[in-house]
Amino acid sequence: MLRQISEDVRVNLKDRLREVRDIIRQSRHDGTGDASVLREATSHLPPFPGKGIEGLLSHAASAVDEALSIAESFVPHERPIKVDGTTVKGLGTYFPAGNEDQQLSAERLFRRDMYYLTKAVLAGLKIDNARIHEADFAAAHATMRKRHGDLLAALTAPGTGLQAIAATCAALLVELLSQRPVRFGEAAPETVGERALDISCLAPVVLACGLATTGRDGAPEPDMLEIAILAADIRHDRIAQACGKASPVDELTPVFATLLAHLP
């Protein structure tokens, strides 16, 4: 229990530090950032006397950003060397049967991979104003174990079929959409456009997990993530409609089953 609490605190701290780092990077004086971010971040402060204070703060932000970059170079990272289709693991790897240590290791791997895969999807979709929270991936992982234990158990059964994999993908997408690990600027969280963006970013990652689980062609291919992005985009309207139904998992399962059956 204490280990899990410590892990939760660490993950939330990482998310908060990433947010601060984003603000700092967008406030640089050399034109690589957005000055409006600095004005927003300091809007609650009393007005400064004299002129040029914003430029001074921008230079300070640049210095802090460079110092953090140097510090990061000395800290070991658990990030993939390259993020592509080979980064994706099968659902059985992310949700194994086993003891507490195995479960904790799988949860760490899940949120790490989901973070970097979602980041890659955002880059592919040319979305650069979003922030990704690992804590929400961790929450979705825990919810999957709590609510969908029957589906996860079916994954470990001998001769797991396509339908079981599709149902697990459907449940995972529903739980990820509920947690909303990707935040887009200052838009209202429940707008139609926001929901569509959530699906565009998360459905490809879930589909890629499903493809890695089927493993029909051996090791995952580098272009698997690109294939998942294109396929999810083509079926975006159908996925969105299914997500809006009273039983979204039941509605999404045949959609994922069809995609998994026909994609390489």
* For residue 116, pLDDT beyond 80: yes
What pLDDT is stored for residue 113 in this prediction?
95
pLDDT at position 137:
97
Query: In the predicted model, what is the mean pLDDT of residues 77-99?
Result: 85
Report, as an integer, the average pLDDT of 199-204: 97
Higher pLDDT among residues 82 and 147, named by residue: 147
Q: How confident is the model at residue 73 (pLDDT cuts 50, 70, 90)?
A: very low
pLDDT at 44 over 70: no
Confidence of residue 114 (pLDDT cuts 50, 70, 90): very high
pLDDT at res. 187:
47
Q: Are 239 and 201 in contact (CB under 8 A)?
A: no
Compute the mean pLDDT over every residue in the chain, rounded to the nearest whole number. Answer: 80
The pLDDT-based confidence of 192 (bands split at 50, 70, 90) is low
Strands 182-184 and 130-132: antiparallel
Q: Look at residue 71 in the predicted model and tell me its pLDDT.
A: 46
Stated pTM of the model: 0.76
pLDDT at 159 over 90: no
Comparison of pLDDT for 15 and 152, the residue scoring more:
152
Question: Which pLDDT score is estimated for 29?
Answer: 46
Which pLDDT value is given to residue 66? 58
pLDDT band at 50 (very low <50, low <70, confident <90, very high): very low
Return the pLDDT at 74. Answer: 45
* Model confidence at 61: pLDDT above 70: no
The confidence band for 51, taking pLDDT boundaries of 50, 70 and 90, is very low
Asked whether residue 16 carries a pLDDT value surpassing 80, the answer given is: no
DSSP the chain: -HHHHHHHHHHHHHHHHHHHHHHHHTT-TTSSS-HHHHHHHTTTSPPPSSS-HHHHHHHHHHHHHHHHHHHHHTS-----SS-SGGG---HHHHS--S-HHHHHHHHHHHHHHHHHHHHHHHHHTT--SEEE-HHHHHHHHHHHHHH-HHHHHHHTSTT--HHHHHHHHHHHHHHHHHH--EEETT--TTSHHHHHHHHHHHHHHHHHHHHHHH-TTSSPPTTHHHHHHHHHHHTHHHHHHHHTSSSHHHHHHHHHHHHHHH--
Q: Average pLDDT, stretch 232-239?
A: 96
Question: Residue 203 and residue 236: Cα distance in Å, rounded?
Answer: 8
Position with higher pLDDT, 68 vs 119? 119
Q: What is the pLDDT of residue 188?
A: 43
